[in-house]
Amino acid sequence: MIVALNNKCNLTKEEFIPYQKELEEIKTSAKLIWCASNIYLGMMNNSNLAIGAQNVNSKNSGAYTGEISAEQLKSLNVKYCIVGHSERREYQHESNEEINNKIKQLLKEDIIPILCVGEQKKDRDNHQEEQIITTEVLEAIKDLSEEEKNKIIIAYEPIWAIGTGLIPTTEEITKIIDVIKNLLPSNKVLYGGSANENNVEELKKVSNIDGYLLGGISLKPEKLKIFLKKLEK
C-alpha cells in the first residue's frame, strides 16, 4: 500500500522540525511518500520516507521567477511530485495541457508524478464523473510513451470530498478506480479526499485501491499512526 502525505501550504519552520521527528519515527509496512512544502525539501535529505513535492514548473530551469524545476527537485532527492491537484487547478488555473507539460518535466528527471483527478459535486449530480476523470487522465498523459505512462501514480480525489469530511461510497470509488485502470491497466491508483482514521476501515473495502493520498491527517502524526495501524489489520 502507498500512503502519500500532502502537507499542502502548512507548518512553519518551528512546527516542521518536531513534526518531522514524529513522522520519521512511524513504523509501517505501507510505503510513505511525504509531500512537504517546497521550502523544506532540502531539510528532508536524511528522511527514511520517500520525498515528494507538491508542484513543479512546467518548463525547464531558467528565467521563471518563483518556480521550481524538476531538475532542482531531483537535486534535492525528490522522488515523487503531486501534479494537477484540484486546489492548483482552481486557484492557479492549471490546465490539463500545463499538467501534461509538468508530467513530462518530471519524467525527464525520473521523478514519479502523482496525478490528481476528480470531479466536482455538480459533475457527479449530472452523472458526468466518469467522463471528467477520463478527460483529465487522457489529456495529462498525452504524447507519453507506454513506458512513461506506466510510471505515473493516479490519485482519484473527488473535489467535493477534499477537506469536507464527506467520502463517496465504496462502490462509487471502486467504479472510478476501474475507469482509471481501464485507461492505465498497470498503474497504481490512490484514493484521496477526507480519508482518515475513522473511515479507513470502510475505505479498505475498496478492493482495487493501491493506496491513499492524505491531506488533513497528514499533519496529525497521532491520527496518522491510527490510520496506518488500521490499514494493516
Catalytic residue selected from 85, 94, 129, 136: 85
Nearest to ligand PGA of 87, 98 (CB atom): 87
Q: Reply yes or no on whether 127 is catalytic.
A: no
Nearest to ligand PGA of 6, 38 (CB atom): 6
Nearest to ligand PGA of 60, 227 (CB atom): 227
Placement of cell 493516479 in the chain = 154
In angstroms, what is the minimal distance from the CB of 71 to ligand PGA?
Answer: 25
For ligand PGA, the nearest residue by Cβ is: 215
Give Cα 105 distance to the centre of its chain: 17
**Residues at the site binding ligand PGA, with contacts judged by CB under 6 A:** 6, 157, 162-163, 192-195, 213-216
In angstroms, what is the minimal distance from the CB of 19 to ligand PGA?
Answer: 16
Q: Reply yes or no on whether 85 is catalytic.
A: yes
In angstroms, what is the minimal distance from the CB of 185 to ligand PGA?
Answer: 24
Annotated active-site positions, please? 85, 157
